[in-house]
Structure 1
Amino acid sequence: MTPADMEARIVRYGDLQPCKTAFIDAHTPGSNQKENFTIIGGGVSESPDQHVHITTPHGFNIGAAGQPPKCRNSLHNHRTAEVFFILSGRWRFFWGEKGDAGEVILEKGDIFNIPTNIFRGFENIGTDYGMIMAILGGDDAGGGVIWAPHVIEDAKDHGLILGANGKLYDSKKGETLPDGVDPMPLLTQDELAKIDCPTAAQVLGGYVRRYLDMVALSGEGPVKVIGENGIIRDKPGFEIDFLTRANASTEMHSHDKPSVLMPVAGHWRVEWEGGSATLAPGDTMSVPENLRHSAVPSMSGEAALYHVIATDDPAGQTWRNG
């Protein structure tokens, strides 16, 4: 594969195209400055303005959220796995229908495998613009977002209506629901009662892993972060490995499915049969199936990278960590 062909499969951090109208809370004070990025796959954006950088199916979606300080993402739920790692900034994740059931603070490199069937939200509590990278299970990411009822009601007060077809309509622009399209119904009390609400101990013990702890584990080969035998023991339709200078190898290898390389620290030189490229934190590289390649740090200093590949498991969390 030529360098030009591979460059088309690399989304550079500086080339990311944000969308500020991706979701129903785009006008809601406190959430109206967030930027949504869809890097690989269609994601779950509710807006036609969302740019998709790489449309090739991978068995999962890659996205990102960028937010200035004190900006939050409203409480929502997904039908498939949602995994975040912190690229920059300091972030508070919270859960429960009202966001008051528990919280965890995450920093650079930390990873959170958020369980399905819980309401979750997050906010940048740092002092600078921050970015979190996301992996969503399935090629269609479960068909969209399920919002907490108060989020839909708040959005309507600020001019945005979500149709039952999953599309947004902005009354401030004179848009109305098309004929035959009803508003997205609010979850009933019976439906809300079926939403999980784990304790903080369950979340911290089962779903969160700290960057420095993974660095400490990386001396004897790649750290299986999420997988059947991972330090987060789960089967969400993909696996995630953690690489550092200590466990990176120049040995060429390949996979039978497309894989994704996502640096979080340092610069990484990726070589393949036909060329090479250097990745920096925030870059995302899609490696085609059956292409022999390797990835190693290209400069001295701290270096860490997440590697994602689909599995044949269903695109949703099938196990619960206790």
Structure 2
Amino acid sequence: MQTLCPTLDEMQSRIARFDKLKPRSAHWNDNLGIPADVLRIFNPKANYVLMAPASLPGRLSPNPAIVDGDKGVIRVGLAVAAPNDGPELHVHWKTHETFMALSGRWLIRWGDEGQESVELDPYDMIAMPPKVARQFINISDQDAHLLVIIQGQLEDFDDVGRLPAVRQKIIDQYGADVLDKMENNGWDFSLVPKSMRQETQV
């Protein structure tokens, strides 16, 4: 199995720009004729649907900016990074990972060499599909916050692979004993999914 590297054009449908979003009340007013003032009874000043499955029923998710989110279990996290800080390139083989800038500016890179990239301003969002190596870096001059959402099937959440070059970097900076501890605790430094390695060993 190989990683994928969509072009920036191919990723456009997975990027939500805050300044292009319409609040749910605008959808209800424009498409259903329900006045926005009535909806203030049920909603805050603005409520945006950033990402939802296309088939999601009900009133909560009309016209999501990114059509996705139907992959099972969801995990929401918050990353805080110092200037020029972020994880090394890594890949989620089966889970979907979504980033939303809450503060600061972020460089999101993808591809095995990080050869594709986009910058996110506050409230911009990008949804990374599985099998794509990715990295996020705070390009602000102060600490910044990034919302991180991971979704997939429960059994697939331990699916992160790190590039082999990171393995050597850990040995060089921290020693082989630290790497051994990490690998013994499930850290993976391969661009071959664990499941495929196990299949070939059987």
With normalisation by structure 1, the TM-score equals: 0.33
CA pair 185-119 structure 1, distance change in 2 beyond 3 A? closer
Tell me the residue number matched to 2:91.
77
Return the offset for 1:164. Answer: 5.1
Which SS does the other structure have where 2:109 is aligned? strand
Q: Distance in 1 between matches of 2:109 and 2:102?
A: 18
Contact between 1:92 and 1:122, CA under 8 Å: does it hold in 2? Answer: yes
Which SS does the other structure have where 1:158 is aligned? helix
Return the offset for 1:108. Answer: 0.3
Return the offset for 1:112. Answer: 0.4
Which SS does the other structure have where 1:72 is aligned? coil
Q: Distance in 1 between matches of 2:142 and 2:189?
A: 37
Contact between 2:163 and 2:189, CA under 8 Å: does it hold in 1? Answer: no
Contact between 1:60 and 1:141, CA under 8 Å: does it hold in 2? Answer: no
Match of 2:147 among 133, 151, 167: 133
Contact between 2:99 and 2:127, CA under 8 Å: does it hold in 1? Answer: yes
CA pair 164-126 structure 1, distance change in 2 beyond 3 A? same
Contact between 1:94 and 1:102, CA under 8 Å: does it hold in 2? Answer: yes
Match of 1:147 among 146, 162, 183: 162
Return the offset for 1:131. Answer: 0.5
Contact between 1:61 and 1:141, CA under 8 Å: does it hold in 2? Answer: no
Tell me the residue number matched to 1:108.
122
The structure that is strand-richer by fraction is: 1
Equivalent residue letter for 2:111: G
Equivalent residue letter for 2:190: L
1:257-272 equivalences under 5 Å are: none
Q: Distance in 1 between matches of 2:146 and 2:77?
A: 9
Match of 2:106 among 85, 91, 109: 91
Return the offset for 1:147. Answer: 0.3
Return the offset for 1:98. Answer: 2.0
Q: Distance in 1 between matches of 2:190 and 2:108?
A: 23
**Moved runs in structure 1, 4+ residues, more than 4 A?**
none
Q: Structure 2: any 5+ residue segments left out of the alignment?
A: 1-71, 194-202
Return the offset for 1:142. Answer: 2.2
CA pair 81-68 structure 1, distance change in 2 beyond 3 A? same
Equivalent residue letter for 2:136: F
Return the offset for 1:163. Answer: 1.1
Tell me the residue number matched to 1:158.
173
Tell me the residue number matched to 2:27.
none
Contact between 2:106 and 2:137, CA under 8 Å: does it hold in 1? Answer: yes
Return the offset for 1:187. Answer: 3.5
Q: Distance in 1 between matches of 2:159 and 2:171?
A: 19
CA pair 185-148 structure 1, distance change in 2 beyond 3 A? closer
Tell me the residue number matched to 1:124.
138
* Deviation by residue 1:81-123 (Cα, 9 ceiling, x = unmatched): 0011111010001112222x21100010001001210110111
- Percent identity (aligned): 30
Contact between 2:91 and 2:161, CA under 8 Å: does it hold in 1? Answer: yes
Q: Distance in 2 between matches of 1:108 and 1:144?
A: 28
Q: Distance in 2 between matches of 1:110 and 1:140?
A: 29
Return the offset for 1:155. Answer: 1.4
Equivalent residue letter for 1:63: G
Contact between 2:103 and 2:145, CA under 8 Å: does it hold in 1? Answer: yes
Q: Structure 1: any 5+ residue segments left out of the alignment?
A: 1-57, 168-183, 192-322
Contact between 2:111 and 2:132, CA under 8 Å: does it hold in 1? Answer: yes
Alignment: residue pair count: 115
The structure that is helix-richer by fraction is: 2
Contact between 1:95 and 1:102, CA under 8 Å: does it hold in 2? Answer: yes
Equivalent residue letter for 2:140: G
Contact between 1:96 and 1:119, CA under 8 Å: does it hold in 2? Answer: yes
Q: Select the structure with the greater relative contact order (CA < 8 A; seq sep ≥ 6).
A: 2
Q: Distance in 1 between matches of 2:99 and 2:189?
A: 28
Q: Distance in 1 between matches of 2:79 and 2:189?
A: 26
Equivalent residue letter for 2:183: G
Tell me the residue number matched to 1:60.
74
